[in-house]
Structure 1
């Protein structure tokens, strides 16, 4: 921030440091602002004459590349002016062509991360007028394929409405993103691939006896560099071709392209490694390079044919700001991560039950996927409003409820409860495919909808009893199944919503105890309804015990019983440390009390009937434990941790013998088991230290999340 003064108002020592063209200069106001900050108390604001609180809330965040308007507004030219000035020559040499390919890849990765299409991919002057590059077959075919891939990705994200997360992602700004004939771009790319392949063989001397040397025109003039440049161009062409196939197959309905996509992902990853290896060769030349952080090409040179400002006059909505593209290293890492995430998606079974699907989505989110793989996952699961693009949600719920054939499908499908359940379930699948912040926001609203659904459950029961289930011996059986499933899903949403808060760093350490305590309550309620549903289905349970006993044990152990033990141990541990005055975080601040924070955290859960709402009085009753000595509280916490360790050891043996669990689920379960083992062992050490401490020892305990995203690990230090 700076303050405007006239040159005459400045001290003599300062006047020489500032040039005053119009007798107005700018001086640094940081010392003044720093002094004001020292004088302000907590909660106070600086009130400027022309800057209100509303304007402060509406202001842009300075230094955020997606929000800061920036000051680089000079030098804006039109596309025609840029071409006339020689910024986009068509007859470029091979090193320059490779730089264009690399910089386009960096632009594409930056676009995937949420920057404007007009200032990333379409900052390429060649893409704005692709026909003029037709004389350069390599450049033309590559740019045309890039445009086709971007169009397919944009269409996929628009279809599933994932663009809500990144407002600028799907805006085309009237740019030539789609063109006739782009579907045949691979034929041109394949043709130049064959040409470069022959040149590579010629450079190795493999074709010297088959045709005269004059017919083998090299890519560039230096024979000693021919092989290296041929390999660099080939791996980039083949990566682009494989990536096109990946995107095209991921777009196919009902998962029909998953197998082919997996094969092309393997090819793309292999070619991407070759691209990485070519970096050393391309950077050998003694040229002027940009810094390691800023470079967007393997060679380190600035690519020709790009101007991020050219589209400011082409499309008015394009913001006049400067953006920072991903570096070359960041670009390669992004595409490797993207392909690995897509490979994980292709490994998913399309015959998962709803419970298995929800857990798979939660496990996939632990990889922290970016927008593009999450969009393709949502497209696979919810295309045409059907699960996996083929299963009507009413049929899915009919199988989930395990209703007998005597239930009239027409009556079942027309019931308002079933229709609403299908809509909310499919919407829950969509929400679980979004980023964590978006999930947390939407799950809060979705929880209230499931609460309303619980109240509507009696309608379906009455309808089925009178119309289709009158002959059943035990009518209460089906009521327990249907209502138990709805209650179970409501509890699952509650627990997942609370756990997301840890990943988003929404909780203060002083709130950990109440969060773990309420989480345990919701988890036990979920487990109760799950067991109730299974007891009402003896035939179904027997079938599971015969065929999938290990898989069921794995899901229950990690998802329910084992988490119950660690939640109990952590809540008891923190409550005991607080009572023993060894927990460093204050339970009360000048802004709000512990009771007010409890209401703020759990007000949403008070509005749903299941899990049963708990008040602050219940929480204080748990934390007080006045009739239980501190030593005994430490003992119970240690017992929970040791029981957890034994269960995890047994679970590891069961997981190793399982033949039904998928490789992805096996990896996630193994990783979580190891994480929980570390959490339990480290917390047991801290409990032993504080339990053995002498009365005069001044110990203080703090919590962090180095091992698991949800379950804290304690560390102790002596003051």
Structure 2
């Protein structure tokens, strides 16, 4: 290939002194026939293909196309105040993308000042004439203001990384922990960074060459970063008052910040060169390069408001020493579409606030937790129950009493923390924990069998000890089954059984409540919660029944084909660990009972789903009107009410379901639509004509 031919094409490595070897390969392969290959001894096609890793980023990230080649970045290039303001806002946008679960290499590390902090040290900079040539671009905007802002950003990311690295959440599943060997100021004390932000604010206050509107905009951003850093550096469980004060301050500064928005720099502005979305090429990482467009300032502020709302909620939870309130909040958040506070950092910090593995809420022992479990379940502490049981013990093995405490330590704290996992992980944890809940139930059954209860009144709590464990276990089973709809796990053939099984679980739950309501002190929070649960579960069971009836047409009548899928879907209910218990598992999924129920309905039952929907609406409306949000709603009673209103919306959507057998026979199940955005558990009834109806 001559030089003229070479000049006609743009060489892939042009500019790097690459040499064209096309002719060499053509000469070497001249005698090889098409579709043939040559192999060395013991080196086959398999070995050749194994040498290439599909998706290996280093195979395609070395070449930098011309359109991505820019001038060398100079961190000391003077900038206008509005340009610095825009850089700070865009950096916050990338920070929120990191909080959303993206890699640092694609977000925060794209800010080139992150990699040049040492070049911005004011004490090491040699004064140059260019720095003082333009008073509208003082170098202090770089060395004091922007440097302090970048340090504050990195320190916030460091605190976030440290919290997420504790282990409550999972790296590469909930968040991305690859730092790419770039410092997040791990060794720099937080107070040193805060001092730098104070210096930046002080300089801005005395800067005379900066327009007042941009001076205020920069000051607000410096104060917001400082306050956010102070909030994140405080343990809410140890110093709740300061934590809450800084959260309120950060909210105020963020609201003010929104009134001083930054403006997009012009096409020739040097500020545009401060972000390199392809910085991953220069970092120690195996992550494929992915360009993430930063959100707008409006979207960034919305994400920051959600972050602060989550921190505010943590401040409330840090002072909430009721296990049932934590459990009720965790459940309620999963009962509504698009639950808030789902940022991984907030979920991890919430778990850490509840328990660090040694203490509960940084002040209570696990013994306190065991006492609270019984106190909030039946209104009697574990110490009182232990004393009564010991005085009436009629068995040989008193280790059973200690086994109760051990079982509770093993299951309760992880159960509360699991509410702040991501939904699939939460469901998996609940499925695995059901064996431990049954072990607790089994132990309480054995304890009750070894008690002398001849002179104990029938409505005494000692006669209903096993029901305490059942209340919690059956609630977990219900969440496992219904969350399958939220996660869109069920095929259309599986929905009918899931709804039917949910009705069986709720029925067992209601029976346990019927046993315990009479033994609980009236007007107590425990009693109020039980009455709420009775009404709520009654409405929920009615909706599950209606959904089961209308889902039956979507189900296959091939029972033999359904059986393998059934055991795969509900394998968590048939684990070998259950065989170690002599006590039967309550509310197990039973395929033969489901088949029998379907046969009875098809042979002459009277399915009227409209009646069930109307019953659910009546009960739910009464709950909302009565303002009885239960004894354990706490500060989140409005959230529980919202969940009830969402269920009423389901009733409204299903209000035109068949109300008689004759109409049921002509019901078109394709008009049902399961959309977690409408409701995580139940379908809506789409009014479609025959030409537009489609199978969900």
TM-score by length of 1: 0.73
Give the number of aligned pairs: 605
Match of 1:564 among 541, 547, 555: 541
In the alignment, which residue of structure 2 is the partner of 1:542?
A: 522
Structure 2, unaligned runs of 5 or more: 1-7, 13-19, 24-44, 123-142, 375-379, 391-397, 579-583, 691-696
Match of 2:117 among 117, 130, 136: 130
Match of 1:639 among 611, 615, 628: 611
For 1:164 and 1:118, locate their aligned partners in 2 and report how far apart those are by CA, in whole Å: 15
Q: 1:337 to 1:380 in 2, by over 3 A?
A: same
Residue 612 of structure 2 is aligned to residue 618 of structure 1? no
Q: 1:152 to 1:414 in 2, by over 3 A?
A: farther
In the alignment, which residue of structure 1 is the partner of 2:63?
A: 74
For 1:627 and 1:586, locate their aligned partners in 2 and report how far apart those are by CA, in whole Å: 13
How far apart are residue 69 of structure 1 and its match?
A: 7.9
Q: How does 1:507-518 map to 2 (within 5 A)?
A: 507-518=490-501
Q: Is the 8 A contact 1:481 1:533 kept in 2?
A: yes
Q: How does 1:150-299 map to 2 (within 5 A)?
A: 150-164=157-171, 166=173, 169-177=176-184, 178-197=186-205, 217-219=208-210, 226-249=211-234, 251-254=235-238, 256-257=239-240, 259-279=241-261, 282-283=263-264, 287-288=266-267
Q: Is the 8 A contact 1:487 1:610 kept in 2?
A: no
For 1:435 and 1:155, locate their aligned partners in 2 and report how far apart those are by CA, in whole Å: 19
> Once the two structures are superposed, what CA deviation does each residue of 1:346-391 show, in whole Å capped at 9, x if it has no partner?
3337345333321111223432612011011111111243332222
Moved more, 88-97 or 616-625: 88-97
> Once the two structures are superposed, what CA deviation does each residue of 1:427-461 show, in whole Å capped at 9, x if it has no partner?
11222211112112222222233334444445666
- RMSD of aligned residue pairs (Cα, Å): 4.3
For 1:369 and 1:618, locate their aligned partners in 2 and report how far apart those are by CA, in whole Å: 39
For 2:51 and 2:403, locate their aligned partners in 1 and report how far apart those are by CA, in whole Å: 46
Q: 1:303 to 1:382 in 2, by over 3 A?
A: farther
Moved more, 336-345 or 166-175: 166-175
For 2:589 and 2:447, locate their aligned partners in 1 and report how far apart those are by CA, in whole Å: 29
Q: 1:491 to 1:164 in 2, by over 3 A?
A: farther
How far apart are residue 426 of structure 1 and its match?
A: 1.2
For 1:246 and 1:633, locate their aligned partners in 2 and report how far apart those are by CA, in whole Å: 57
Match of 1:683 among 654, 659, 663: 654
Structure 1, unaligned runs of 5 or more: 1-15, 25-48, 61-66, 200-216, 220-225, 290-298, 579-584
Q: Is the 8 A contact 2:278 2:291 kept in 1?
A: no
How far apart are residue 588 of structure 1 and its match?
A: 6.7
For 2:181 and 2:670, locate their aligned partners in 1 and report how far apart those are by CA, in whole Å: 61
In the alignment, which residue of structure 2 is the partner of 1:121?
A: 108
Q: Is the 8 A contact 2:629 2:640 kept in 1?
A: no
Moved more, 518-527 or 268-277: 268-277
Residue 309 of structure 2 is aligned to residue 340 of structure 1? yes
For 1:563 and 1:122, locate their aligned partners in 2 and report how far apart those are by CA, in whole Å: 48
In the alignment, which residue of structure 1 is the partner of 2:473?
A: 490
> Once the two structures are superposed, what CA deviation does each residue of 1:671-691 show, in whole Å capped at 9, x if it has no partner?
122222221122121325996
Q: 1:17 to 1:516 in 2, by over 3 A?
A: farther
In the alignment, which residue of structure 2 is the partner of 1:703?
A: 673
SS at match of 2:566: helix
Q: 1:261 to 1:552 in 2, by over 3 A?
A: farther
Match of 1:449 among 436, 444, 457: 436
Q: 1:344 to 1:168 in 2, by over 3 A?
A: closer
TM-score by length of 2: 0.75
Match of 2:515 among 504, 520, 532: 532
For 2:457 and 2:678, locate their aligned partners in 1 and report how far apart those are by CA, in whole Å: 48
Q: How does 1:362-381 map to 2 (within 5 A)?
A: 362-365=331-334, 366-367=339-340, 369-381=342-354
Residue 415 of structure 2 is aligned to residue 428 of structure 1? yes
For 1:624 and 1:54, locate their aligned partners in 2 and report how far apart those are by CA, in whole Å: 56
Moved more, 370-379 or 303-312: 303-312
Residue 154 of structure 2 is aligned to residue 147 of structure 1? yes
SS at match of 1:389: coil
Q: Is the 8 A contact 2:530 2:630 kept in 1?
A: no
For 1:600 and 1:55, locate their aligned partners in 2 and report how far apart those are by CA, in whole Å: 38
Q: 1:482 to 1:87 in 2, by over 3 A?
A: farther
Match of 1:596 among 557, 564, 568: 564
For 2:183 and 2:329, locate their aligned partners in 1 and report how far apart those are by CA, in whole Å: 38
Q: How does 1:14-163 map to 2 (within 5 A)?
A: 71-75=60-64, 85-89=72-76, 91-135=78-122, 136-163=143-170
For 2:200 and 2:573, locate their aligned partners in 1 and report how far apart those are by CA, in whole Å: 61
Q: Is the 8 A contact 2:90 2:294 kept in 1?
A: no
> Once the two structures are superposed, what CA deviation does each residue of 1:166-224 show, in whole Å capped at 9, x if it has no partner?
4763344443221334323223312322443455xxxxxxxxxxxxxxxxx212xxxxx
Q: 1:699 to 1:172 in 2, by over 3 A?
A: closer
For 2:629 and 2:444, locate their aligned partners in 1 and report how far apart those are by CA, in whole Å: 37
For 2:109 and 2:502, locate their aligned partners in 1 and report how far apart those are by CA, in whole Å: 48
Q: Is the 8 A contact 2:309 2:341 kept in 1?
A: no
Q: Is the 8 A contact 2:237 2:353 kept in 1?
A: yes
Match of 1:400 among 367, 373, 388: 373
How far apart are residue 95 of structure 1 and its match?
A: 3.0
For 1:476 and 1:54, locate their aligned partners in 2 and report how far apart those are by CA, in whole Å: 71
> Once the two structures are superposed, what CA deviation does each residue of 1:470-522 show, in whole Å capped at 9, x if it has no partner?
99957996665543222322212211111221111111233221111111111
> Once the two structures are superposed, what CA deviation does each residue of 1:547-583 show, in whole Å capped at 9, x if it has no partner?
676555434433x2221221122223333xx2xxxxx
